[in-house]
Amino acid sequence: MSPARLVLALVPILLSLAGCTTAPSAPPPAATDASASVEYVFGTGDRLRLTVFNEPTLSGEFEVNSAGMISIPLIGNIKAQGETAHGLESVITQKLSSGYMRDPRVNIEVLQYRPFYIIGEVSKPGEYPYRNGMNIMSAVAVAGGFTYRANDSTVNIRRAGQTQEYSYPVTTTTMVLPGDIVRVGERLF
């Protein structure tokens, strides 16, 4: 057996001895496509602007709390976590229609997204604010770039709400989403 094949055969054994687990290599398909138009789902830490047409006392800025709720005057706590903007608009419209207003017009926009996290072989690991259209290259740049030990060809990402991380290529089409945990591994040789 050649030395290169021996090294490749020993990698999983060495990783398991070191207590490391490798991420599954097949990420969900939409996560690497920059053109995928998936509607944003709210989560804890998102800051929203609610506008109820001609009702300034009901309009305002709201943050999704740790329970995944926002508290709106007249109708109380509404579950926002796991909802899209259109879904939350429908829920609020329905609640306002049932006894408070005749034909409410509701609009929701995201003022501030929840942060993403980047750990591992980057110069400044930590929590960073998310910006629309962020890809893995811009996320690494925000964290000060790769260290000299970094594997700069793949990263592992655990999406918000998931329990497993997946391996993704370091390209401009690999998107980072709010709440993601990005782990930059160390290269082996």
Q: Give the Cβ contact number of residue 57 at 10 Å.
A: 8
**Domain-wise residue ranges, the chain:** 25-32+115-184, 47-112
Instruction: Count Cβ neighbours within 10 Å for each residue of 169-185 and write b for 16 or more, e otherwise.
Output: ebeeebbbbbbbbbbbb
Give the tokens for residue 56.
């300034």
Rounded distance between C-alpha atoms, residue 189 and residue 3, angstroms: 13
pLDDT of residue 18: 44
| Single-letter code of the amino acid located at 138 | S
CA 20 to chain centre: 24
Asked whether the beta carbons of 107 and 155 are under 8 A apart, the reply is no
- pLDDT tens by residue, the chain, 189 residues: 544 444 444 444 444 444 444 445 555 554 544 444 568 889 999 999 999 999 898 899 999 999 999 999 889 999 999 999 999 999 999 999 988 888 999 999 999 999 999 999 999 999 999 998 899 999 999 999 999 999 999 999 999 888 899 999 999 999 999 999 999 999 886
Q: Does domain 47-112 have CATH number 3.40.50.970?
A: no
pLDDT of residue 160: 82
Backbone torsions φ then ψ of 112, nearest 5 degrees? -145, 125
Assess whether the region 25-32+115-184 and the region 47-112 belong to the same CATH fold: no
Residue 9: is it exposed, middle or buried by C-beta count within 10 angstroms (0-12/13-18/19+)? exposed
Determine the CATH number of domain 25-32+115-184.
3.10.560.10
